[in-house]
Amino acid sequence: MTRLVLVLGDQLSPNLSALQKADKDTDIIVMAEVADEASYVPHHPKKIAFIFAAMRKFADALRDDGWQVDYTKLDDPENSGSITGELLRRAEQHDASGVIATEPGEWRLIEALQDMPLKLHMIADTRFIASHKEFEDWAEGRKELRMEWFYRDMRRKTGLLMDGDKPVEGKWNFDHDNRKPAPDDVDFNGPMQFTPDETVEEVLDLVEQRFGDNFGTLRPFWFATDTGQARRQLTHWVKHALPKFGDFQDAMLNDNRFLYHSIISFYINAGLLDPLEVCEQVEQAYKDGHAPINAAEGFIRQIIGWREYMRGIYFLEGPDYTSRNVLGHERALPSFFWDADTRMNCVSKTVAQTRDEAYAHHIQRLMVTGNFALLAGIDPHEVHEWYLAVYADAYEWVEAPNVIGMSQFADGGIVGSKPYVSSGSYIDRMSDYCKHCDYKVKDKTGPDACPFNLLYWDFLMRHRDRFSDNPRMGNMYRTWDRMDEARRETVLEDAKTLLSRLDAGESV
């Protein structure tokens, strides 16, 4: 009896669990470009084009491997517009007995599949290192779900950077060495850029026609769209940039968008690269003496630490996680998150880069746009949907915990032990943005004061009852209490004026 095998746009892996359970001789793979998935948030055109082009190439690879693939393009007149609609249509067409599916990475789609009037066999996604049960077992009984302790378990499980049961070079974490400010020069030209082939060009034309009004620049389009290209980018980065990645992974530059970052999160999250294979290549570079321990460990921690931990949190916390708002923030997302029209150079540069590349690195996301949104009291669900829409590596399982938890503290401290907030001094230390800004980062009050300086104290005062007893924040409140009363009043009044301008839709 024929079964359908669902392959989603972020499941483009030949070792996908659903494919492992299927039979080439009798089962039919279903892949579909559908309006529901392309528009549930206004995705960046580059993100849509990347996924559709990679899907088409993966479907061709599956056919070459002997599979029968029923592929629906977005402009197919018979396209039902949804994943479940396409499964039902194909089931009727083939008189299929049921569906095999690897578990999706979003509760929304999991629930939609479970509501279908078809027999569903949903299989765990084995491309991750930690299963749901492993994470649940690790989390059970813990007062604090700190990533560092989970990460150490993942090191032990994988054996990466281990010397027996001890970490190589005697330390688990070399993050202290990875906080150097932005260098004067970067001797790396950025990620490999791939010229669109016929398949990609066809997709670009389609996306331009259907999603041309979405936030984001579609062309030039340079992403890898198959595993071969993605592996070339990985090798290129390991050879030319990994040695300095650790030192400058938190740095930002006004006129350099990529620094020493790998730019492979697109490819890992879509399934074109296997995360463990990526980490093993980085580990080998360390063993060969090509990369220092702080670079290799810092990168591997992002993959088997943060990435796995975020997925664990997302599924542990359940479908309502994205609606969390423990701080009660309700301000609307400012228009400059879409048009980059702000005098704050750091925000303008990050949004403009996001518009052009569908990419910004973790510190730009956390400590520039995320920091501003948290300080200004922006509705965390709006912030969540913005990040989900604008970044090519954003899928809800990884994006939501990073935003709702780490960036916006909307989960009340499940992910972070304190809010990731800072004044302009952090941005000034880690970048050259402030040198090019209309505002003065050294000014604490007045019309030219950096908005981050004003909003930082305003945020702390708004939430003093919640955070004053936090051991990691006590010094901040003691600093405030030592300030001259007149200065405190001026800071809060200037912050109030700034927020009023935001509420009125004025440019800041």
State the Cα torsion 449-455-458-460 to the nearest 10°: -130
Q: What is the mean pLDDT of the chain?
A: 97
In this prediction, residues 210-237 reach a mean pLDDT of: 98
Give Cβ neighbours of residue 167 (< 8 Å, ≥ 6 apart): 152, 155, 161
R_g over Cα of the chain: 23
CATH for 336-503 is 1.10.579.10
In this structure, which topology does domain 132-190+241-317 adopt according to CATH? 1.25.40
Q: Please state, as a whole number, how many other Cβ atoms lie within 10 Å of the Cβ of residue 293.
A: 17
φ/ψ region of 141 (left if φ > 0, alpha if ψ in -120 to 50, else beta) reads: left
Q: What are the boundaries of each domain within the chain?
A: 4-123, 132-190+241-317, 336-503
pLDDT at 284: 98
In this prediction, residues 335-343 reach a mean pLDDT of: 98
Q: Please determine, for residue 203, whether its predicted confidence score (pLDDT) is greater than 90.
A: yes
Length of the chain (residues): 508
pLDDT at 230: 98
In this prediction, residues 329-350 reach a mean pLDDT of: 98
pLDDT at 145: 95
pLDDT in tens, 452-480: 999 999 999 999 999 999 999 999 999 99
Quick one: DSSP state of residue 191?
S
In this prediction, residues 387-412 reach a mean pLDDT of: 98
The two three-digit tokens of residue 298, written as one number: 């810092």
pTM of the model: 0.97
Termini Cα distance of the chain: 63
Chain-centroid distance, C-alpha 384: 11
pLDDT in tens, 228-284: 999 999 999 999 999 999 999 999 999 999 999 999 999 999 999 999 999 999 999
In this prediction, residues 33-52 reach a mean pLDDT of: 98
3-state secondary structure of 222: coil
pLDDT at 55: 99
Round to whole Å and give the CA distance between 424 and 444: 9
In this prediction, residues 281-300 reach a mean pLDDT of: 98
Distances in Å between the Cα of 478 and the Cα atoms of 245, 423, 445, 457, 475 are 36, 16, 19, 12, 5
Q: Please state, as a whole number, how many other Cβ atoms lie within 10 Å of the Cβ of residue 23.
A: 11
Amino acid at site 235: T
Burial of 390 (0-12, 13-18, 19+ CB in 10 A): buried
pLDDT in tens, 43-91: 999 999 999 999 999 999 999 999 999 999 999 999 999 999 999 999 9
Q: Work out the pLDDT band at 97, boundaries 50, 70, 90.
A: confident
pLDDT at 1: 79
CATH for 4-123 is 3.40.50.620
Q: Work out the pLDDT band at 501, boundaries 50, 70, 90.
A: very high
pLDDT in tens, 423-433: 999 999 999 99
pLDDT at 507: 85
pLDDT at 182: 86
